[in-house]
Amino acid sequence: MTTSVPEPRKKRRPPWWIWPLGLLVFLVVGHTVWTLVWRHRYESRLEALRAAGERLEVSEFVPEPASDHRNAAVPFAEAERWYDEYLGTFEDDLEQLESLERWAKGRSDSKVEEQRARVQDALARGDPYVALLKQTVARPDWREPLDWGAGIDMRSKTGPRLRKAMEFMVQRIVRAPRVEEQQVEELQLIIRLALHVDSPGILGLFLNWAAHEEALDALQGMSRLPEFEARAVWDRVAADLDPSPLVERLPRAVTLERAFGVEVTRHLLDGRNLLEYIDSILDDVPGRSRADGWWSWPYAALLYRDGVAQLDLFEMWLAHLPTEPWVDFPMPEEWQHRDLMPRDQIIWALFTPMPRLSIERRRQYLARMRIARVGLALHVIRQRTGAWPASLEAVDPMLLPEDRIDPYTGERFLWDPGVRLAADVPLHEGETLESAREFERLIEWRFGASESRR
């Protein structure tokens, strides 16, 4: 009797789709865990900041409303409307005049005189505009109508308005035939206007600094006019040349930028189209397209990680702000190298340049305002004694302690008696003093021959 040996059973191979499915499940589970880890880290950081009393929502920065009769933004907006109606071509006329003056190089020319007369006529017609700016400074509150609900899409009109006002007023001063009470009064007006307006965020603060720095141009131009009485000007404007009030706004501006960053992350996590939203921020066009929340899921982990990196950046930024408003602060090494930023952290890229810019811009602002005060004090000594002081120690009794310090070096400003007062701004490789001056990188007060003879 023979027994048949059963054939060995062939192993069944799993279907071909099992391995791809397993890999997919592994990736989905891994990605979900990774997302949850970074979500926990991000939300924990936010909770800790809120517990410490930090403001993280843009809505928390909305100021209390003010009545129109107290709101300086009301006459400021009216001033712009008057400017556009009656002085609408002034900027083009001034640009053409300055171009012709550079071409003529001091030579007498009919085209220059004709264009100069056109600009002078506009300046003479500007009294109603000046009156509205005086109303602006006289009102105690600043409440520009802003759509705070738009968050980072919020658009302020203060910057262009302030730039127009400062340009027009500086020209009223430096193109006057002589220094009279009106010019001194209007110099004080533009300095206080720069201190009074209050645009939100770090870019708004930069606008304030730039407007305040116009005082240096106005002072230099005024000092070359006949009948310039330095002591009278000092008594009227020296206190308002102090940069401390605007520098003290820097921490508030930084914390508002942090709130903008938190909002951007939240909107993207809610499903807003990533690339379109970035374009809407960079191109100044409000983004409108939204998708369902699932659309953000594939890159949610990156957004949470990006959010943590943002909070780290702002924590370091705020930690490096000086405790005294007039003290300069060093630039941390990691801020000097943009390449250190991970390339996949897209939102962080929007904010990474800001700390470096805030340090550089703050240093320029401090240098310009200190030179304005020191330069004006030098004129006071010159007119009182009949000679330029040989060293800057002579003006020390008139100055604040910090006025003597060049923020670029920590030493005194460069002083060539009767010729030049300057910050020691580092030159780029291959750059000369003249080329740096041509590109307006130098921070200086140049004293003309007419001043030396006065």
The predicted structure's pLDDT at residue 129:
97
Q: Which helix (H) or strand (E) holds 407?
A: none
Which amino acid, residue 174? V
DSSP letter, residue 146: -
The predicted structure's pLDDT at residue 287:
38
Which of 132-146, 173-187, 324-338 shows the lowest mean pLDDT across its residues?
324-338
The predicted structure's pLDDT at residue 354:
79
Q: Which helix (H) or strand (E) holds 284?
A: none
The single residue listed with the structure tokens 């921020």 is: 281
Most confident of 22-36, 189-203, 334-348: 189-203
The predicted structure's pLDDT at residue 264:
84
Per-residue buried b or exposed e for 28-49, using 16+ beta carbons within 10 Å of the residue's own CB: eeeeeeebeebbeebeebbeeb
Q: What is the mean pLDDT of the segment spanning 30-41?
A: 84
The single residue listed with the structure tokens 């262009």 is: 160
Per residue in 412-438, pLDDT tens?
Answer: 999 999 999 999 998 888 888 888 887
Per residue in 238-285, pLDDT tens?
Answer: 999 999 899 889 999 999 999 998 988 888 777 655 555 555 544 443
The predicted structure's pLDDT at residue 371:
95
How far apart CA 410 and CA 427 sit, in angstroms, is: 17
Q: How far apart are the first and last CA of the chain?
A: 138
How far apart CA 245 and CA 248 sit, in angstroms, is: 5
Instruction: Tell me the residue length of the chain.
Output: 454
1 has pLDDT over 70: no
Task: Answer left, alpha or beta for residue 198, where phi above 0 means left and psi between -120 and 50 means alpha.
Answer: beta
Which CA distances in Å does 230 have to 217, 292, 305, 414? 15, 66, 57, 21
291 has pLDDT over 80: no
The predicted structure's pLDDT at residue 286:
40
Sign of CA dihedral 297, 315, 367, 240: positive
Per-residue buried b or exposed e for 138-148, using 16+ beta carbons within 10 Å of the residue's own CB: ebebbbbebee
Closest residue by Cα to residue 299 from 258, 270, 341, 276: 270
- Using CB atoms within 10 A of its CB, is residue 344 exposed (0-12), middle (13-18) or buried (19+)? exposed
How far apart CA 388 and CA 393 sit, in angstroms, is: 12
Closest residue by Cα to residue 355 from 214, 261, 244, 423: 261
The predicted structure's pLDDT at residue 10:
60
The predicted structure's pLDDT at residue 271:
65
Bridging pattern class, strands 414-416 and 444-446: unpaired
The predicted structure's pLDDT at residue 334:
59
- Using CB atoms within 10 A of its CB, is residue 53 exposed (0-12), middle (13-18) or buried (19+)? exposed
pLDDT band for 208, please (50, 70, 90 cuts).
very high
Q: What backbone torsions phi and psi does residue 277 show, to the nearest 5 degrees?
A: -70, -40
DSSP letter, residue 141: B
Most confident of 16-25, 143-152, 221-230: 221-230
pLDDT band for 210, please (50, 70, 90 cuts).
very high
- C-alpha 184 chain-centroid distance: 27
Q: What backbone torsions phi and psi does residue 289 show, to the nearest 5 degrees?
A: -70, 130
SS3 state of residue 349:
helix
How far apart CA 283 and CA 274 sit, in angstroms, is: 14
> What is the crossing angle of helices 90-104 and 110-124, to 10°?
150
- Count CB neighbours of 397 within 10 A: 7
The predicted structure's pLDDT at residue 285:
37
pLDDT averaged over every residue in the chain: 84
Whether residue 73 contacts residue 142, with contact meaning beta carbons closer than 8 Å, is answered with yes
Q: Which helix (H) or strand (E) holds 161?
A: helix 158-174
Q: Which helix (H) or strand (E) holds 294?
A: none
Q: What backbone torsions phi and psi does residue 249 show, to the nearest 5 degrees?
A: -80, -10
Which CA distances in Å does 35 have to 265, 274, 300, 310? 14, 17, 6, 17
Angle at 151 between CA 147 and CA 154, to 5 degrees: 50
Q: Which helix (H) or strand (E) holds 444?
A: strand 444-446
Which CA distances in Å does 294 have to 25, 215, 234, 271, 278? 18, 54, 64, 7, 19
How far apart CA 447 and CA 433 sit, in angstroms, is: 16
- Contact partners, residue 63, CB within 8 Å, separation at least 6: 143
